[in-house]
Structure 1
């Protein structure tokens, strides 16, 4: 079946293989809808509410921190998205070009854990919301239902996920506007909403970090959804479509979360149901379906990353649609267990999870972007990605591996979480600036180290020619 004749319901046959020119399709605006539609969901609302429920910020500073964090973090997300049309492979496969075939396994394994964490978090959110508004569904059953919809989309693959999120862009977007209209125009905000909570630098930086992470967390898989685009899509068009789709799709529900968090006591989902009154029946149903769309993306990319690990160890394995289906079911079972076991302490577990995730993602995104845009200038030997010995990239690129480990270690004194607070973070009142330090240190260090490595390699080549 040709790309032109394929329908969203057509089963995707490829997994991590390079996408040939004959199968390329789509337009840059498709990247807007996939990131806009996939972000309008309950977990985004809950993440926005952290600004006022966990970090205890007043209304205006909460909004400023959330907007600034998203606008900044989305720059990195969109730069990764622009790589997809040029290389035609999943993001984690491309990571072999920076870390080597075996060197990339550490990063890919961490990314799989990330997907499972977000998948499980979304299952808990969707299940609890459905149970709250539709008591006939037990929480366990509701969690399974949300997950089942995600698995179906993952099995069918790329086209169905794009079509799913395109539909949710309109449906979830309309319901989001309904929420704002109902809360602001019908229910109204508390009279003292501007006086609630007290500003703190630690709370502001914590909120900024969470918002930036929300965008950075997409970096390891964002190009998975642009890799089928024609090579002439253009890096600029891919960048801006992804950037504004993800920014608007994230900021608007996070703002809703702030309003709910300040207006309702206790559980954010229960507060949303209370504030939207009769409209909550539609709100919960649509936002829960939206969670399933986003979870399909998490499971799809987690599956591709798991296949990447397998193909690295067994290069002759040509994984196809059946392999994707089986791998997706295994990962779904693992995430389902996490969701069912961790649902009682969800908010605490989720907050700690996303902050710890930030520390391991930051050095990877710095290395990947510096290598792609400043060192390799987008020119990679794609066939080498699929060789066990890494081809021209080898088993390990110790420059990248060393910089990655340094990037994690350099953040330790600046970390501020419930589990651990570094000495510098304590000295500045618990403010978390670790991810900023990680980006600022590793980006130039990796660039300079790569330049020196390249010059040494060039000098050795000249010497051998002589």
Structure 2
């Protein structure tokens, strides 16, 4: 117990602006250490999405052959659908004082190792997805080789991830204004000199398939925050308004993603494999171009620091007894190796493949934890959640793991990447419905298994007690 407390517990920030290293890991944050207002959820979910990965994702609809307005509609639909569960899960932080993967131990039990390790690996993949553009921007700005620009970006983000919760919140407050100004300038330049790509080349079923794929790519961006969601609200007081938390988080995600992906749609011909160079050319070089490149690098640091922080909690939740700051730094180091691989060949293909594959597991995870929370709330009959009591009431691990695996397996025929296209996706002219299928299957499999396993667990002690008597 002492070892676990020293690894999973530790120093917590005392309030807003306390930037000392947070050593506290997956243990619930006690009410005496809670602070903050729900409005800080807007900036913590707004600034990290003002990245060139979002811009690059926005170019996909045009590259598939859609016209601007069709691609825009698909993008907005996918963003909203993906952001809804992430914003909802964010409200669990103040109620439980617990991060998202650590909290999922209620549903997964010892089986949490599977989503925990998956989330940790996903955080490394996101480091590469976003660090790719940050490294390019810094290399373009300073005349460095790409590897050195990427290394500096990942070192900076690793440092912020090590400092932890409050450092992340303070950084995102400042970066909301800095990055907002940078992307506003990019938007003005697009409006003044780049024609809107109003025409597309697709028709009929091919157009529908491209619409669904574009929507799914946008959905994958937004829902990727779901396994992180309560990590950045776990220090908020229990009395914090849940509706306000939900709306601040939802608006932060939707507005930021809509903004940057719209820029990507508009300037799709500029923002190709050479995204950083495209921004520099759009801004005309000079001081303004340098500011744009610096903003891209800073955006990568902001977003990836979130990945490293949540990855450190996921690794602890999976049972790895490593201090949270060290786990955060390790994720950044491994992300550097992956970003070098992504930069070495066809960036467009590798970006889309990594983006989709790191998210296919998330809808199954979301379905499991939401059903578990709903059943637990029904058992409490309206009483406030007592997180210690809930952890003392574990569920069998196998229903959650079975549903998680079944959801991913069911999604495979619906997947569409350049590495693998499922037979159903092919029949649907490229439409990728894997995320939707995974969520539905997870709920359909987990709910009855969970209820059945729960009844068996309740009957077993009674039978045992009768025999003993």
Partner in structure 2 of residue 216 of structure 1: 223
Decide whether the 8 Å contact of 1:375 with 1:451 is kept in 2: no
Counterpart-to-counterpart distance in 2, 1:99 and 1:460: 20
Equivalents in 2 of 1:8, 1:259: separation in Å?
A: 41
Whether the 8 Å contact between 1:98 and 1:367 is mirrored in structure 2 is yes
SS state at 1:359 partner: coil
* Whole-angstrom distance in 2 between the partners of 1:8 and 1:79: 27
CA distance in 2: counterparts of 1:276 and 1:284, whole angstroms? 10
SS at match of 2:227: coil
> Counterpart of 1:239?
246
2:261 is equivalent to residue 254 of structure 1: yes
8 Å Cα contact 1:260-1:275 kept in structure 2:
no
The gaps in structure 2 that reach 5 residues or longer are 1-10
TM-score normalised by length of structure 2: 0.88
In 2, the alpha carbon distance for the partners of 1:42 and 1:264 equals 9
Q: 1:126 aligned to 2:134?
A: yes
For the structure 1 residues 264 and 426, does the alpha-carbon distance in structure 2 shift closer, same or farther, using more than 3 Å as the test?
A: closer
Tell me the matched-pair count: 446
Pick closer, same or farther for the CA change 1:460–1:149 going to 2, 3 Å: same
In structure 2, the partner of 1:172 is: 179
- Structure 1 unmatched ranges of 5 or more: 312-316
- Matching residue of 1:425: 425
**Deviation at 1:310?**
3.7
For 1:324 and 1:449, the matched residues in 2 are separated by 34
> What do residues 304-352 of structure 1 show as CA deviations (whole Å, max 9, x unaligned)?
22222345xxxxx5x6xxx233323322221111112331233211211
Residue 375 of structure 1: how far off its partner (Å): 4.3
**Distance 1:326-1:459 versus aligned 2 partners, 3 A rule:** closer
1:191-340 alignment, distance < 5 Å? 193-199=197-203, 200-262=207-269, 267-278=274-285, 279-311=288-320, 323-340=323-340
Are positions 1:351 and 2:360 aligned together? no
After superposition, give the CA deviation of every residue in 1:255-307 in whole Å (9 maximum; x if it has no partner). Answer: 00111114567633332322222432212211210110111111111112222
Distance across 2 between alignment mates of 1:13 and 1:266: 39
Which residue in 1 is equivalent to 2:369? 368
Structure 1: distance between partners of 2:272 and 2:25: 45
Say if 2:89 and 2:226, in contact at 8 Å, map to a contact too: yes
Q: How does 1:36-115 map to 2 (within 5 A)?
A: 36-53=46-63, 55-101=64-110, 103-115=111-123
SS for the counterpart of 2:283 is helix
> CA separation in 2, counterparts of 1:434 and 1:42?
25
Deviation at 1:399, TM superposition (A): 1.2
Deviation at residue 198 of structure 1 after TM alignment: 2.8
Q: What do residues 63-92 of structure 1 show as CA deviations (whole Å, max 9, x unaligned)? A: 001110001111111111111111111111
Mapped to 2, the partners of 1:264 and 1:442 lie a distance apart of 37
Give, in whole Å, the separation in 2 of the partners of 1:350 and 1:289.
Answer: 20
Q: Secondary structure at the match of 2:124?
A: helix
CA distance in 2, matches of 1:56, 1:237: 39
TM-score, normalization by structure 1: 0.89
The equivalent of 1:12 in structure 2 is 22
SS in 2 for 1:358: coil
**Within 5 Å, which residues of 2 pair with 1:362-441?**
362-376=363-377, 382-383=387-388, 391-393=392-394, 396-441=396-441
- Structure 2 residue aligned with 1:314: none
